[in-house]
Amino acid sequence: MTWAATILTLYPEMFPGPLGHSLAGRALADGTWSLDTVQIRDFATDKHRSVDDTPAGGGAGMVLKVDVLAAAVDHVLARDPDVPMLAMSPRGRPLDQALVRELAAGPGVSVLCGRFEGFDERLFEARPVIPVSIGDYVLSGGETGAFVLLDACIRLLPGVMGAPSSGDEESFESGLLEYPHYTRPQVWEGRTIPEVLRSGDHAKIAAWRKQRAEDDTRLRRPDLIERHGGARRPPPSGAQRREQED
Protein backbone atom coordinates (compact mmCIF):
# COMPACT_ATOMS: atom_id res chain seq x y z
CA MET A 1 0.00 0.00 0.00
CA THR A 2 1.23 3.49 -0.80
CA TRP A 3 1.92 5.73 2.19
CA ALA A 4 0.16 8.99 1.35
CA ALA A 5 1.70 12.36 2.20
CA THR A 6 -0.28 15.55 1.61
CA ILE A 7 1.27 18.95 2.25
CA LEU A 8 -0.95 21.99 2.73
CA THR A 9 1.25 24.98 1.97
CA LEU A 10 1.54 28.41 0.41
CA TYR A 11 4.68 27.13 -1.38
CA PRO A 12 3.78 23.82 -3.11
CA GLU A 13 6.66 24.29 -5.55
CA MET A 14 9.09 23.54 -2.68
CA PHE A 15 8.07 19.86 -2.84
CA PRO A 16 9.35 17.17 -3.19
CA GLY A 17 12.60 19.20 -2.91
CA PRO A 18 15.11 17.17 -0.93
CA LEU A 19 12.64 14.27 -0.72
CA GLY A 20 13.00 13.80 -4.48
CA HIS A 21 16.55 12.49 -4.00
CA SER A 22 18.34 9.46 -2.59
CA LEU A 23 16.30 6.95 -0.54
CA ALA A 24 13.12 9.03 -0.33
CA GLY A 25 13.32 9.98 -4.02
CA ARG A 26 13.67 6.36 -5.12
CA ALA A 27 10.80 5.33 -2.85
CA LEU A 28 8.65 8.12 -4.31
CA ALA A 29 9.48 6.98 -7.85
CA ASP A 30 8.63 3.36 -7.09
CA GLY A 31 5.33 4.20 -5.40
CA THR A 32 6.24 3.28 -1.81
CA TRP A 33 4.92 6.69 -0.86
CA SER A 34 2.96 9.35 -2.74
CA LEU A 35 3.11 13.12 -2.50
CA ASP A 36 0.29 15.57 -3.01
CA THR A 37 0.41 19.29 -2.36
CA VAL A 38 -2.57 21.51 -1.64
CA GLN A 39 -2.25 25.26 -2.18
CA ILE A 40 -3.81 26.92 0.86
CA ARG A 41 -4.45 30.09 -1.16
CA ASP A 42 -6.89 28.17 -3.39
CA PHE A 43 -9.28 28.22 -0.42
CA ALA A 44 -9.27 31.99 0.05
CA THR A 45 -12.63 33.53 -0.83
CA ASP A 46 -12.10 37.30 -1.05
CA LYS A 47 -11.15 39.01 -4.27
CA HIS A 48 -7.53 39.48 -3.20
CA ARG A 49 -7.28 35.79 -2.26
CA SER A 50 -5.84 36.80 1.10
CA VAL A 51 -4.78 34.08 3.52
CA ASP A 52 -3.61 36.23 6.44
CA ASP A 53 -4.67 39.19 8.52
CA THR A 54 -3.31 41.30 11.37
CA PRO A 55 -3.16 39.74 14.85
CA ALA A 56 -6.03 40.41 17.22
CA GLY A 57 -4.67 42.37 20.15
CA GLY A 58 -1.95 43.94 18.03
CA GLY A 59 1.68 43.05 17.56
CA ALA A 60 4.03 42.24 14.74
CA GLY A 61 3.35 40.03 11.73
CA MET A 62 0.32 38.38 10.23
CA VAL A 63 -1.81 35.41 11.24
CA LEU A 64 -3.17 32.72 8.90
CA LYS A 65 -6.95 33.03 8.70
CA VAL A 66 -9.00 30.27 10.29
CA ASP A 67 -11.73 30.21 7.63
CA VAL A 68 -9.20 29.67 4.85
CA LEU A 69 -7.23 27.08 6.84
CA ALA A 70 -10.39 25.16 7.79
CA ALA A 71 -11.56 25.03 4.18
CA ALA A 72 -8.19 23.60 3.09
CA VAL A 73 -8.14 21.11 5.98
CA ASP A 74 -11.75 20.03 5.31
CA HIS A 75 -10.92 19.43 1.65
CA VAL A 76 -8.08 17.06 2.58
CA LEU A 77 -9.98 15.35 5.44
CA ALA A 78 -12.97 14.68 3.18
CA ARG A 79 -10.66 12.89 0.77
CA ASP A 80 -8.46 11.09 3.36
CA PRO A 81 -10.52 10.80 6.56
CA ASP A 82 -8.17 8.19 8.06
CA VAL A 83 -4.91 10.06 7.50
CA PRO A 84 -3.80 12.08 10.55
CA MET A 85 -3.69 15.83 10.01
CA LEU A 86 -0.70 17.52 11.65
CA ALA A 87 0.21 21.21 11.70
CA MET A 88 3.81 22.36 11.99
CA SER A 89 4.08 24.63 15.02
CA PRO A 90 6.73 25.43 17.63
CA ARG A 91 3.83 25.24 20.11
CA GLY A 92 3.13 21.60 19.23
CA ARG A 93 3.95 18.14 20.55
CA PRO A 94 7.68 17.54 20.12
CA LEU A 95 8.40 15.18 17.24
CA ASP A 96 10.33 12.10 18.40
CA GLN A 97 11.14 8.66 17.05
CA ALA A 98 8.08 7.12 18.77
CA LEU A 99 5.74 9.51 16.95
CA VAL A 100 7.67 8.94 13.70
CA ARG A 101 7.20 5.16 14.07
CA GLU A 102 3.50 5.57 14.78
CA LEU A 103 3.01 7.77 11.70
CA ALA A 104 5.12 5.52 9.45
CA ALA A 105 2.99 2.52 10.49
CA GLY A 106 -0.23 4.31 9.51
CA PRO A 107 -1.77 5.18 6.13
CA GLY A 108 0.25 8.39 5.71
CA VAL A 109 0.22 11.93 7.00
CA SER A 110 -1.17 15.32 6.05
CA VAL A 111 0.92 18.29 7.11
CA LEU A 112 -0.31 21.86 7.36
CA CYS A 113 2.58 24.31 7.00
CA GLY A 114 2.41 27.68 8.71
CA ARG A 115 3.99 30.98 7.67
CA PHE A 116 4.15 34.46 9.21
CA GLU A 117 3.13 34.34 12.90
CA GLY A 118 1.31 31.03 12.48
CA PHE A 119 -2.29 29.84 12.71
CA ASP A 120 -5.45 31.28 14.23
CA GLU A 121 -5.75 29.11 17.36
CA ARG A 122 -9.43 28.33 16.78
CA LEU A 123 -8.41 25.90 14.04
CA PHE A 124 -7.14 23.47 16.70
CA GLU A 125 -10.36 23.75 18.68
CA ALA A 126 -12.63 23.16 15.71
CA ARG A 127 -10.79 20.56 13.62
CA PRO A 128 -8.82 17.35 14.40
CA VAL A 129 -5.47 19.01 13.66
CA ILE A 130 -2.53 18.02 15.86
CA PRO A 131 0.21 20.64 16.28
CA VAL A 132 3.71 19.14 16.07
CA SER A 133 7.06 20.82 16.67
CA ILE A 134 10.38 19.62 15.26
CA GLY A 135 12.39 21.28 18.03
CA ASP A 136 12.89 24.25 20.28
CA TYR A 137 13.80 26.84 17.69
CA VAL A 138 11.76 28.94 15.29
CA LEU A 139 11.70 28.32 11.54
CA SER A 140 10.40 30.82 8.99
CA GLY A 141 7.84 28.32 7.74
CA GLY A 142 6.44 24.84 8.29
CA GLU A 143 7.74 23.44 5.00
CA THR A 144 11.24 22.64 6.26
CA GLY A 145 9.63 21.02 9.29
CA ALA A 146 7.47 18.92 6.97
CA PHE A 147 10.62 17.76 5.14
CA VAL A 148 12.09 16.63 8.45
CA LEU A 149 8.95 14.81 9.52
CA LEU A 150 8.43 13.10 6.14
CA ASP A 151 12.08 12.12 5.78
CA ALA A 152 12.04 10.46 9.21
CA CYS A 153 8.85 8.53 8.35
CA ILE A 154 9.74 7.54 4.80
CA ARG A 155 13.03 5.86 5.72
CA LEU A 156 11.02 3.50 7.96
CA LEU A 157 8.58 2.41 5.24
CA PRO A 158 9.00 -1.24 4.23
CA GLY A 159 11.67 -1.65 1.55
CA VAL A 160 13.09 1.88 1.74
CA MET A 161 16.24 1.15 3.74
CA GLY A 162 18.76 -1.36 2.44
CA ALA A 163 18.98 -3.92 5.22
CA PRO A 164 15.69 -4.59 7.01
CA SER A 165 17.46 -4.50 10.39
CA SER A 166 19.43 -1.31 9.81
CA GLY A 167 16.91 0.81 11.74
CA ASP A 168 16.84 -1.32 14.87
CA GLU A 169 19.98 -0.08 16.62
CA GLU A 170 19.61 3.51 15.52
CA SER A 171 19.79 6.46 17.90
CA PHE A 172 16.58 6.79 20.00
CA GLU A 173 15.21 3.36 19.02
CA SER A 174 16.37 1.94 22.36
CA GLY A 175 15.95 5.22 24.17
CA LEU A 176 19.70 5.84 23.82
CA LEU A 177 21.98 7.45 21.26
CA GLU A 178 23.56 4.93 18.93
CA TYR A 179 27.16 3.79 19.48
CA PRO A 180 29.81 5.52 17.30
CA HIS A 181 30.87 4.16 13.89
CA TYR A 182 34.26 3.74 12.20
CA THR A 183 35.46 2.50 8.84
CA ARG A 184 38.78 2.13 7.01
CA PRO A 185 41.51 3.36 7.03
CA GLN A 186 42.46 1.62 10.28
CA VAL A 187 44.89 4.44 11.11
CA TRP A 188 44.08 8.03 10.15
CA GLU A 189 46.19 10.98 11.30
CA GLY A 190 47.58 8.72 13.99
CA ARG A 191 44.12 7.76 15.29
CA THR A 192 43.19 4.09 15.30
CA ILE A 193 39.82 2.39 15.19
CA PRO A 194 39.07 0.87 18.65
CA GLU A 195 40.83 -2.52 18.76
CA VAL A 196 37.75 -4.42 19.93
CA LEU A 197 35.99 -3.71 16.62
CA ARG A 198 38.70 -5.69 14.80
CA SER A 199 38.61 -8.62 17.22
CA GLY A 200 35.90 -10.57 15.39
CA ASP A 201 34.43 -11.40 18.81
CA HIS A 202 30.76 -10.54 18.29
CA ALA A 203 29.81 -10.74 21.96
CA LYS A 204 32.64 -8.43 22.94
CA ILE A 205 31.76 -6.00 20.15
CA ALA A 206 28.11 -5.97 21.20
CA ALA A 207 29.09 -5.31 24.82
CA TRP A 208 31.44 -2.48 23.79
CA ARG A 209 28.74 -0.89 21.64
CA LYS A 210 26.16 -1.11 24.40
CA GLN A 211 28.58 0.49 26.84
CA ARG A 212 29.44 3.31 24.44
CA ALA A 213 25.76 3.95 23.69
CA GLU A 214 25.06 4.25 27.42
CA ASP A 215 28.13 6.36 28.21
CA ASP A 216 27.68 8.75 25.31
CA THR A 217 23.99 9.19 26.07
CA ARG A 218 24.77 9.88 29.71
CA LEU A 219 27.32 12.53 28.73
CA ARG A 220 25.54 14.19 25.83
CA ARG A 221 21.87 13.63 26.55
CA PRO A 222 21.20 13.06 30.24
CA ASP A 223 17.57 13.99 29.49
CA LEU A 224 17.20 10.76 27.48
CA ILE A 225 18.54 8.65 30.34
CA GLU A 226 16.08 10.28 32.69
CA ARG A 227 13.17 9.72 30.34
CA HIS A 228 14.00 6.07 29.70
CA GLY A 229 14.26 4.49 33.10
CA GLY A 230 16.51 6.69 35.21
CA ALA A 231 20.16 6.27 36.12
CA ARG A 232 21.23 2.68 35.70
CA ARG A 233 24.84 3.38 36.59
CA PRO A 234 26.71 6.31 38.08
CA PRO A 235 27.98 8.71 35.40
CA PRO A 236 31.45 7.88 34.03
CA SER A 237 34.13 10.14 35.43
CA GLY A 238 35.80 12.58 33.04
CA ALA A 239 33.80 13.66 30.01
CA GLN A 240 36.84 13.58 27.71
CA ARG A 241 38.04 10.09 28.64
CA ARG A 242 37.13 8.53 25.28
CA GLU A 243 39.77 10.24 23.22
CA GLN A 244 42.54 8.75 25.33
CA GLU A 245 41.19 5.31 26.17
CA ASP A 246 39.79 3.79 22.99
Is residue 65 at the binding interface for ligand SAH, with CB under 6 A as the rule? no
43 C-beta neighbours (distance < 10 Å), count = 20
Q: Nearer Cβ to ligand SAH, position 126 or 206?
A: 126
Q: Nearer Cβ to ligand SAH, position 90 or 108?
A: 90
CB 204 within 8 A of CB 212: no
Q: How far is the CB of 204 from ligand SAH (least distance, A)?
A: 42
Q: Pairing between strand 187-188 and 108-112? A: unpaired
Q: Which stretch binds ligand SAH (CB under 6 A): 6-14, 16-24, 65-73, 139-147?
A: 139-147
CA proximity to 109, closest of 33, 12, 43, 160? 33
Q: Which one of residues 33, 145, 197, 214 is an interface residue with ligand SAH (CB under 6 A)?
A: 145
Axis-axis angle for helices 22-29, 142-154 (nearest 10): 80
Q: Which stretch binds ligand SAH (CB under 6 A): 42-50, 110-118, 185-193, 216-224?
A: 110-118
d(CA 146, CA 157): 17
Is residue 44 at the binding interface for ligand SAH, with CB under 6 A as the rule? no
Q: Which one of residues 114, 123, 157, 176 is an interface residue with ligand SAH (CB under 6 A)?
A: 114
| Beta carbons within 8 Å of 69's beta carbon, 6+ residues apart | 40, 43, 112, 119, 120, 123
Q: Which one of residues 24, 86, 90, 111 is an interface residue with ligand SAH (CB under 6 A)?
A: 90
Q: Which one of residues 18, 106, 141, 175 is an interface residue with ligand SAH (CB under 6 A)?
A: 141
CA proximity to 40, closest of 63, 70, 15, 14? 70
Q: How far is the CB of 113 from ligand SAH (least distance, A)?
A: 5
Is residue 91 at the binding interface for ligand SAH, with CB under 6 A as the rule? yes
Q: Nearer Cβ to ligand SAH, position 117 or 151?
A: 117
CB 238 within 8 A of CB 194: no
CA proximity to 209, closest of 182, 185, 186? 182
Q: Which one of residues 24, 134, 176, 177 is an interface residue with ligand SAH (CB under 6 A)?
A: 134
Q: Which stretch binds ligand SAH (CB under 6 A): 35-43, 51-59, 137-145, 204-212?
A: 137-145
CB 105 within 8 A of CB 80: no
**Per-position b or e across 138-168, b if 16+ CB within 10 A of its CB:** ebebbbbbbbbbbebbbbbbeebbeeeeeee
Is residue 113 at the binding interface for ligand SAH, with CB under 6 A as the rule? yes
Is residue 161 at the binding interface for ligand SAH, with CB under 6 A as the rule? no
Binding residues for ligand SAH (CB under 6 A): 88-91, 113-115, 117-118, 133-135, 137-139, 141-142, 145
